[in-house]
C-alpha cells in the first residue's frame, strides 16, 4: 500500500512514483497507490485498507506521515510502515537516518528489518509520531504558506519564526509526571520522540531511544531580561539542556495544566487548544520498516 501526497516537497513525489513502483515490484510486492487530495485522506486510506496489505509505505511530509500512522493504529492491523520523506523539514526522517532521494529511501525499505517505534497519544484521542509542542514558534509550520515552503524550504520556517517573535508570550503551567512536579512561566515546551524539531531544537542521539517507552521533554522558562534570552539561545545552539532556564527530563506519561488555553502542534500540524492535557507514550505501538 503506497500512500502518496502529490503536493509534498515541491512535487518530488510525483516525479519518483514510477521508479518506486518498479522498485517494489522487483522486490516481490504488488503495489496499490493511494494518492491524497486533501486533509484526512491518508488517515482514512490507511484505516480502511491497511489490513489487506503486507506493508504500508507513506510518501509525503510530516503531516501525511502523522495521518498515515493515525490510520494504521486505528485499523489495529499491525501492518508495518515504511516512510519516504517528501516534505520540507522531515524531522522524523532525520531521526531515522532517512536521507537521499525517494528511490534511495525505497531501497532501504525493502532491505531493512522490522523494528518497534513508540507513538504518542495526546488527550486520549490523537496520535503523534515525533513531537507535541506548545509556545514560541510551534504554529510556524501550519501558518507558513505552502508556496513559501516549496520555494524556500527550511528557511521558510526560520523566517516565519522570526516574524512571530514580537507575539511570543509566556504560559503559567503545572507539569506533572510520576517522578516530577514543576510549576512556573514557560515560553516553549516539547514532548519528543525525535532528534530535532524544525531544525531549531536538536538533541544528542545518545539521549534518545525511539522504543524505550519514554519521551524526552523540554521546557523553556520565560526569560525576564534580554540577558536571559541570550543565555537560552546560547544553550540551544550548543545543545545544553541542563541549565536553570531549560528543563529536560524523560517521562512515559505527563499532564500539563495551563491557566489559559494552550495552543498545541502535533507533528507540525495544528493540535488545537486546551487548558489541561495528558500525553502518554504507547511503547512499540508502531512497527517500522525503513
The torsion of the CA quartet 55, 111, 20, 81, rounded to 10 degrees, works out to: 30
Residue 34: all three cell numbers together:
493511494
Q: Give the phi and the psi of residue 18 in degrees, each rounded to 5.
A: -65, -40
Q: Give the phi and the psi of residue 288 in degrees, each rounded to 5.
A: -100, 145
Contact partners, residue 277, CB within 8 Å, separation at least 6: 122, 123, 255, 256, 262, 264
Q: Quick one: which of 65, 48, 56 has its CA closest to 8?
A: 65
Query: Hey, CA dihedral for 117, 121, 122, 126, is it positive or negative?
Result: positive
Q: Which of 67, 216, 245, 269 does the annotation list as catalytic?
A: 269
Question: Is there a catalytic annotation at residue 67?
Answer: no
Q: Which residues are catalytic?
A: 269
Amino acid at each position: 500500500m503506497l500512500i502518496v501526497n502529490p503536493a509534498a516537497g515541491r512535487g518530488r513525489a510525483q516525479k519518483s512514483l514510477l521508479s518506486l513502483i518498479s522498485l517494489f515490484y522487483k522486490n516481490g510486492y504488488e503495489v496499490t497507490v493511494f494518492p491524497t487530495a486533501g486533509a484526512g485522506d491518508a488517515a482514512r486510506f490507511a484505516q480502511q485498507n491497511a489490513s489487506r496489505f503486507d506493508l504500508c509505505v507513506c510518501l509525503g511530509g510530516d503531516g501525511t506521515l502523522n495521518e498515515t500512522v493515525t490510520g494504521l493504529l486505528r485499523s489495529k492491523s499491525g501492518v508495518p510502515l515504511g516512510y519516504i520523506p517528501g516534505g520540507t523539514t522531515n524531522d522524523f526522517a532525520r531521526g531515522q537516518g532517512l536521507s537521499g532521494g525517494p528511490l534511495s529511501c525505497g531501497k532501504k525499505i525493502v532491505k531493512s528489518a522490522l523494528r518497534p517505534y513508540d507513538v504518542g497519544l495526546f488527550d486520549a484521542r490523537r496520535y503523534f509520531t515525533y513531537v507535541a509542542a506548545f509556545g514560541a514558534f510551534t504554529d510556524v509550520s501550519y501558518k507558513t504558506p505552502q508556496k513559501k515552503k516549496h520555494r524556500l524550504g527550511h528557511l521558510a520556517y526560520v523566517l516565519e519564526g522570526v516574524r512571530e517573535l514580537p507575539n511570543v508570550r509566556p504560559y503559567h503551567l503545572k507539569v506533572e509526571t510520576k517522578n516530577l512536579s514543576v510549576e512556573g512561566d514557560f515560553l516553549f515546551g516539547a514532548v519528543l520522540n525525535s532528534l530535532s524539531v524544525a531544525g531549531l531544537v536538536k538533541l544528542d542521539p545518545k539521549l534518545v531511544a525511539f522504543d524505550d517507552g519514554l519521551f524526552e521533554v523540554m521546557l523553556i522558562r520565560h526569560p525576564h531580561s534580554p540577558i536571559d534570552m541570550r543565555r537560552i539561545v546560547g544553550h540551544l545552539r550548543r545543545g545544553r539542556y541542563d541549565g536553570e532556564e531549560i528543563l529536560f527530563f524523560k517521562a512515559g506519561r505527563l499532564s500539563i495544566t495551563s491557566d489559559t488555553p494552550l495552543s498545541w502542534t502535533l507533528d507540525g500540524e495544528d493540535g488545537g487548544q486546551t487548558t489541561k492535557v495528558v500525553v502518554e507514550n504507547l511503547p512499540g505501538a508502531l512497527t517500522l520498516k525503513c
